Amino acid sequence: MQALSARAPRVAAKPVSRSGARSAVTVVCKATTVRSEVAKKVAMLSTLPATLAAHPAFALVDERMNGDGTGRPFGVNDPVLGWVLLGVFGTMWAIWFIGQKDLGDFEDADDGLKL
């Protein structure tokens, strides 16, 4: 009687891969159990109290920080930064507005499709 083995057969030599040849694709199937799913959920839920307890510490903002998440508009904590944002936006809009005048009025549906 022949004995059954759970091991995969071994190959003596390594396969040679050529520069143009594709490597073999291996497929692995794993069975998940209810116990492993429950363990993942318990581990995730165990971090929730620590996260909720430390939540006020995440809201501390220093003047050296940039103001993200502090309720300030666009994260601007210095008035000069607001003027810079407004100036850059206004300059880009003015360049676009002046440049689009040369493109025409686009009354025909196919006007914008010319290359």
With respect to residue 92, please indicate whether it lies within any of the assigned structural domains.
yes
Tell me how far apart the alpha carbons of residues 68 and 74 are, in angstroms, rounded to a whole number.
8
The verdict on residue 1 lying in a domain is no
Total domains present in the chain: 1
What is the mean predicted confidence (pLDDT) over 24-37? 78
Report yes or no on 110 lying in a domain.
Answer: no
Q: What is the pLDDT of residue 53?
A: 74
- Residue 94's pLDDT is what? 95
- Domain contains 14: no
Place 37 in a pLDDT band, splitting at 50, 70 and 90. confident
Q: How many CB atoms lie within 10 A of CB 81?
A: 14
Q: Is residue 87 a part of any domain in this protein? A: yes
**Pair 75, 68: CB distance under 8 Å:** yes
Average pLDDT over residues 80-97: 93
* Cβ neighbours of residue 112 closer than 8 Å, sequence gap 6 or more: 106
The secondary element (H helix, E strand) that includes residue 53 is helix 48-53
Task: Choose among 24, 40, 44: nearest CA to 32.
Answer: 40
E runs forming strands in the chain: none
Report if residue 21 sits inside a domain. Answer: no
In the predicted model, is pLDDT for residue 33 greater than 70? yes
Domain membership of residue 57 as a residue range: 34-102
Q: Quick one: what percent of the chain has pLDDT higher than 90?
A: 12
* Residue given tokens 């040849």 in the structure block: 21
48-80: per-residue pLDDT in tens?
A: 787 777 666 666 655 555 566 666 777 777 788
Average pLDDT, rounded, for the chain: 72
